[in-house]
Structure 1
Amino acid sequence: MTSSSALPGPHAPTLDLGGRTALVTGAAGGIGGACALRLAAAGAKVRAVDRDAAGLASLAERAAGLAGTVEPQVLDLTDLDAAEHAAAGTDVLVNNAGIQLVRPIEEFPPEVFHTVLTVMLEAPFRLIRGALPHMYGQGWGRIVNVSSVHGLRASAYKAAYVAAKHGLEGLSKTAALEGAPHGVTSNCVNPAYVRTPLVERQITDQARAHGIPEERVVSEVLLQDSALKRLIEPEEVAEAVAYLCGPQASFVTGTSLVLDGGWTAH
């Protein structure tokens, strides 16, 4: 038996993505922006993808001085061929882009449902499809899909978002099974409500759908099922993404890293 004195001491592996190329969608702000900056800080060359050119320019300025770089790439993910092409040659893929509309099913515009599924499920499929040949060729790759607690639980009035996130969970697991022999991991990160413009914009719709004043939405709707009564910060989600890209997570694949403040503990 090995004595305890012979065991190596605890250490915190440093995330070093020097020489790696990462692609982050929805990178102009919120979770995507935080992820892009975190991966650039680890030395990655980050392709920051969004349709918001001004937001990407601001992100690139914030990245000045980091170990890696942030390269803005204006792209609308409903252009699926362009999305797949953009992912070619990437070592790390972070599927983060998302859109939201809060409406009862009978009032939900079918064209919006279609767009949500295109951006949040079909585009990730095409991005993964575009990234895998390079990842397989080098025997290493990291796919991180920013899902949601809504990938595990449903909420009323979010038919498209919940459907897309549930689909993303299945896509991520399939990519994990196929990628395992090639050194490629695929996982989801599942936050509850994050302090982002996407969340702030839905407060009015939530108030209307639930018939309550806007000032009561955060406490009575958004945080109702969370044991921790606060919003998550984008940087907290970015650290979870970084963990899944690091050496200490090389055996973590096909799973969901849940950051829901105890929501799913009920």
Structure 2
Amino acid sequence: MSLSRALPGAPDPTLDLGGRTALVTGAAGGIGRACALRLAAAGAKVRAVDRDDAGLAALAEAAAGLPGTVEPRLLDLTDLDAAEHAAAGTDVLVNNAGLQLVRPIEEFPPDVFHTVLTVMLEAPFRLIRGALPHMYGQGWGRIVNVSSVHGLRASAYKSAYVAAKHGMEGLSKTAALEGAAHGVTSNCVNPGYVRTPLVERQLADQAKAHGIPEERVLTEVLLQDSALKRLIEPEEVAEAVAYLCGPRASFMTGTSLVLDGGWTAH
């Protein structure tokens, strides 16, 4: 079994988002950073939304020289009115921001549960709401919701995250049905465990919850149900997001593009 880093293939050179404005949430790191860079590489003008000022600055520096641009925008997604306003005028919306806490339900702090659902479900609703008038007006739009294998399957000790991701699946399908007549598609991308700081921060919590040493968490918990015994890279997820924005996916809507290494094949 190999847990080595995989090198994604070359990005699709035919994707052209020149003249399009994209918004990516959680853009300062992990999947969001990879998505922002990928869409900028395709020529998009990317509004990179996060509350991590230093991470956004590093992203903008990394994007220098790409065909498109990255515009850092500080935003806390618990400010729902600001989130909706930020999405106005966007052609592509990537709802990616997320947070995680691993606790049994009886020990899960209610305020954290509320915050997780606010950031990962209510904010995407408000962002979609803010983006749709422009998308409908021009007869074209792409909504990509970065869900998870946990949008399709549950895991113990992740009540808030699983609830939010399951809700996102339903929101995405509803947006697909409403947007179809207006040239707007809405889909989810569902990765398994991705090599990101969010996953790395889970190791200690998972070790405590399962009563095992931290060094055993990756193989015995995170990758236990995955046929492919490795983490997926952020760039692999970003390429799937980019695909859903391109012409080859114009008939895909209301569905979930699963990148789970065979998890749901069980």
Query: Normalised by the size of structure 2, how large is the TM-score?
Result: 0.96
Post-superposition Cα deviations, 1:59-105, rounded to whole Å, max 9, x if no partner, equal 00000000000000000000000000000000000000000000000
C-alpha change, 1:215 and 1:85, in structure 2 (3 Å) is same
**What secondary structure does 2:218 align onto?**
helix
Q: Cα distance, 1:12 vs. partner?
A: 7.1
C-alpha change, 1:87 and 1:11, in structure 2 (3 Å) is closer
Contact 1:186 1:253 in 2 (8 A): yes
How far apart are the structure 2 equivalents of 1:5 and 1:45? Answer: 30
Q: Cα distance, 1:13 vs. partner?
A: 7.4
Query: Normalised by the size of structure 1, how large is the TM-score?
Result: 0.96
How far apart are the structure 1 equivalents of 2:2 and 2:225? Answer: 46
Q: Cα distance, 1:8 vs. partner?
A: 28
How far apart are the structure 1 equivalents of 2:241 and 2:165? Answer: 17
Q: Cα distance, 1:9 vs. partner?
A: 22
C-alpha change, 1:228 and 1:10, in structure 2 (3 Å) is closer
Q: Cα distance, 1:2 vs. partner?
A: 47
How far apart are the structure 1 equivalents of 2:196 and 2:247? Answer: 29
Q: Cα distance, 1:14 vs. partner?
A: 1.0
Post-superposition Cα deviations, 1:176-230, rounded to whole Å, max 9, x if no partner, equal 0000000000000000000000000010000000000000000000000000000
**What secondary structure does 1:189 align onto?**
strand
Q: How big is the alpha-carbon RMSD for the aligned residues of Structure 1 and Structure 2?
A: 7.1
Name structure 2 gaps, 5 residues minimum: none
Contact 2:11 2:239 in 1 (8 A): no
Is the radius of gyration larger for structure 1 or structure 2? 1
Matched length: 266
Contact 1:13 1:247 in 2 (8 A): no
Post-superposition Cα deviations, 1:20-59, rounded to whole Å, max 9, x if no partner, equal 0000000000000000000000000000000000000000
Contact 1:99 1:116 in 2 (8 A): yes
How far apart are the structure 2 equivalents of 1:30 and 1:237? Answer: 10
What residue number does 1:96 align with? Answer: 96
**What secondary structure does 2:235 align onto?**
helix
Name structure 1 gaps, 5 residues minimum: none
How far apart are the structure 2 equivalents of 1:174 and 1:264? Answer: 23
How far apart are the structure 1 equivalents of 2:258 and 2:181? Answer: 25
Contact 1:91 1:135 in 2 (8 A): yes
**What secondary structure does 1:252 align onto?**
coil
**What secondary structure does 1:228 align onto?**
coil
**What secondary structure does 1:4 align onto?**
coil
Post-superposition Cα deviations, 1:148-203, rounded to whole Å, max 9, x if no partner, equal 00000000000000000000000000000000000000000000000000000010
How far apart are the structure 2 equivalents of 1:46 and 1:5? Answer: 27
Whether 1:149 aligns to 2:149 is yes
Extract structure 1 runs of 4+ deviating beyond 6 A: 1-13
C-alpha change, 1:222 and 1:134, in structure 2 (3 Å) is same
C-alpha change, 1:105 and 1:11, in structure 2 (3 Å) is closer
How far apart are the structure 1 equivalents of 2:9 and 2:71? Answer: 39
Contact 1:13 1:248 in 2 (8 A): no
Identity %: 90
How far apart are the structure 2 equivalents of 1:52 and 1:7? Answer: 27
